[in-house]
Every structure is written in C-alpha cells, then in structure tokens.
Structure 1
Amino acid sequence: MLLILCATSSISNAQLKRFSIGPFVEAGFPVGDMKDVYNTGYGIGLGADIKLIAGLGVTGSVSYMRFGGKSFDVPGVGSAKYDALNAVPVRLGLKYKFLPLLYLKAEGGVANITGDNKTTAAIFSPGLGLRVLGFDLQAKYEMWFKDGNMSFFGLKAGWNF
C-alpha cells in the first residue's frame, strides 16, 4: 500500500512540474544535396522545457552533432573523402501539447560549425513528439541555412528530470 501511495504521489508531482531539463541523443538522416556529401549524423545534448499556459511551452537545447563525410571517386587518381561536418546547434522554440502525450514543436537557432570551415548557419526545425512521464521521443525535419541549405530528418530521444 505504501509503495502505491509513493508511486502515485511522485506521478502527480511530476505532472505539476513547470520546468524540466535532461540529456538526449539524436540521429540525423541527410536529404537533398546534403545526402550526396554526408552520412548519417549523430549527436548528444542537453534540453530544457518551461511550461507556460494551456499546453504551450518554451523549449531550448544545446548539442554536438557530427556527420561523417562520404567517399567519392576522383577519375585517374582514386578515391577521396569529404571532410566530416561537426557542429554545435543551439535551438530555442515553442512547444504545443495538443493531446495528453503528443506535442508539436518549432525551433530556431544557430548551428556553430567547427573545424577548418568555421561558420554559423541559421536553423529552423519543426517536429512532432511523444512524451510519456520523463521519456521524450521526437521526429523532426531540420534545415540549416548558410549559402544555400542543408537539411535532414532527425530522431531525438531523451529523458527529462
């Protein structure tokens, strides 16, 4: 009986939380021109949510992502490989919970590209997510704008405290 009361109490307190923070992992699957140059990307980061009113919230994250470069053939020379793309995306956005477990999200921000080609790209990223207690799973489409654009479909899984 005591165990049931403790579990019920922690679940009800979790529903009243207005702020959460936690780690996540993500994978990015390049599309368009980006697909010709880069392999699947992987990342790790830290995200936070602040609940506002009526299902609306503010969200933000900072992460590190790496897309490996693809190999290509150079006629008469052999093969070569594109450099990897390493970036630190910083995103801020709005999140709207339209069903008890499902939400829509739109984020913007900057991707700080590191390495030899240091630059900054603007980010726009709409997504659809599922949050069950502290577990958060999201599908998104992310675009990075800098002298054209780079786009990828992403999957993101995290835990919020």
Structure 2
Amino acid sequence: MKKYFLLLLILFVLHLSQASAQWKGFSLGPYGELAFPTGDFQKNFKLGGGVGLNADIRLIKKWAATGSVGYMYFRGKDVTDENGTRYKVKDLQAIPVRVGVKYRPIPLFYLKLEAGSANYTGKNYSGSAFLLSPGVGLRVLGFDFQAKYEAWMKDGTKGFWGLKAGWNF
C-alpha cells in the first residue's frame, strides 16, 4: 500500500512540475532535512531526519507565501534517571504542517518565518504541538538550501536546529 501511495505522490509531483512551468510565481518540490535537537530535547533524543513537500507562491516584489507538509523522526536515547535506573526513551514521529512568508532582500537569499503544527504520530506520543520556525535560505536555480531553528511547543518546548535541502519545480 505504501509503495502505491509513494508512486502516486511521485506522479502527482511530476504532473505539477510540468504544469508549474506555466504558472509563473508558483513552485513545488520535495525536500529532506536533518534536525539537531537542543536543550532538554537533546537530553532524550538523537539526531532527527525528515522528508516532505514544499510549495512557494510569489506575492508582491520580494515577498512569497510558503507552506510545507512532511514527516519527521527522532530516535530516543538510552538515559539514566536520578535514581540510577536506565531506560530507553521512545522514538518520536511527527507530521509537521507549516505555512509562512519568505522575504528576499537580495536575489538568491531569503529570510523566512513559518508557523503551524507538529502532529505526533505512532503509538508513543499523541496530539499536536504548535510550531514556530524562523530561518535563512539560499535558492539557486531550482535548488533550495535552508538553515533554521524550529520549536515545537506542547508540555514544554522541543527545539532543534535544522538543515534543509530541496528541489523546486
């Protein structure tokens, strides 16, 4: 079933990429990202990773609207509590949905601010967290490289530095 879903997603992206060539100011494409947990989040989780689909729509002059949906995974660490008991923290999986704006002060370089929700999936965590994500990026031809900080806020803050790379059609 997952193979068929992936095949349909790839065909859909390819179809939109050909159509987007006719839609000036609109781009769509896949991305991958690495996430480096910080603060208390770092105490319980290792390096994270994710994939997803990003879209941009040019607004006026140097401004664009942006949005993405993806999948993030953080592996839990083996930790020791204050009583000396070792246990394994359960892995964290989420589907972040982000919307925001991008501002290009000069060609190729942009600043962005996104907000949305990280919807926890799997059997270990439930619910969703509010997310906020400022960042900077470089877009050369169709390649998009981004550095960001992202905070998921629910019962405390789960924050991480992220490096994101993608291709926009």
Instruction: Normalising by structure 2, report the TM-score.
Output: 0.82
Number of aligned residues: 146
Give structure 2 stretches of 5+ with no counterpart.
1-20
Paired with 2:42 and 2:48, the residues of 1 have a C-alpha distance of: 11
Match of 2:9 in 1: none
Give structure 1 stretches of 5+ with no counterpart.
1-13
- Report the CA distance shift for 1:81/1:135 in structure 2 as closer, same or farther (over 3 A): same
Match of 2:25 in 1: 18
Amino acid at match of 1:150: K
Quick check: 43-52 or 65-74, which moved more? 65-74
Supply the RMSD in Å over aligned alpha carbons. Answer: 1.5
Paired with 1:148 and 1:76, the residues of 2 have a C-alpha distance of: 24
Amino acid at match of 1:18: G
> Following superposition of structure 1 onto structure 2, how do residues 94-133 of structure 1 map, counting pairs within 5 Å?
94-116=101-123, 117-133=125-141
Paired with 1:119 and 1:109, the residues of 2 have a C-alpha distance of: 14
SS in 2 for 1:35: helix
Paired with 1:81 and 1:102, the residues of 2 have a C-alpha distance of: 41
Instruction: Normalising by structure 1, report the TM-score.
Output: 0.86
CA deviation string 1:113-153 (max 9, x = no partner) = 11232110000000000000100000000000112111000
Larger Rg: 1
Identity of aligned residues (%): 55
Aligned match of 2:152 in 125, 135, 144?
Answer: 144
Runs of 4+ in structure 1 deviating by more than 2 angstroms, as ranges, are 73-77
